[in-house]
Amino acid sequence: MNRKGFTLIELLVVMVILAMLAAIVGPKLFTKVGKGKQSAAKTQIEMLGQALDSYRLDTGHYPTTSEGLQALQENPGDQGWDGPYLKKALPVDPWKNPYQYQAPGTHGEYDLFSYGADGAQGGEGENQDVNSWE
């Protein structure tokens, strides 16, 4: 009887090797995903900043905090509004939360930011805030 196949020991050895590789490589991949989301948030904030600058050129001021970023899509009643200033719908941050907007801001004429993955102020790594003024 000549059977071809793998023994249980051979399969277990291969599974242990694969588990060790996943334990080594997995954490490195997950940190790259976090950095990618931080980078995407920074890019979206820059894009929204350009739209806010266009809004200001047309109306003479940035939208108020109460008007919010929605003023980039719908005219809040401002003379000179020539929008919409975004080609697509107002984006949410990579963690599916709305961007925070304040005008006047404490760091400039407006503050535009995301609280990161944890949705709370401060943090490190993927939880770090992404701000328009940095």
> Over 70: is that where the pLDDT of 1 sits?
no
- Segment (H or E) for 39: helix 8-59
Q: What is the pTM of this model?
A: 0.73
Distance between CA atoms of residues 122 and 22, nearest Å: 31
Query: For residue 32, is pLDDT > 80?
Result: no
pLDDT in tens, 102-131: 999 999 999 999 998 888 888 888 888 999
CATH number, domain of 57, equals 3.30.700.10
* DSSP helix/strand/coil, 114: strand
What's the number of domains the chain is made of?
A: 1
* E-state strands within 3-86: none
What is the chain's mean pLDDT, rounded?
Answer: 89
SS3 of residue 131 by DSSP: strand
Does the residue 22 lie in any domain? Answer: no
Please check whether residue 19 lies inside any domain of the structure: no
**Range picked from 27-31, 99-103, 116-120 for highest mean pLDDT:** 99-103
Q: Which domain holds residue 95?
A: 38-131
Res 82 pLDDT > 90: yes
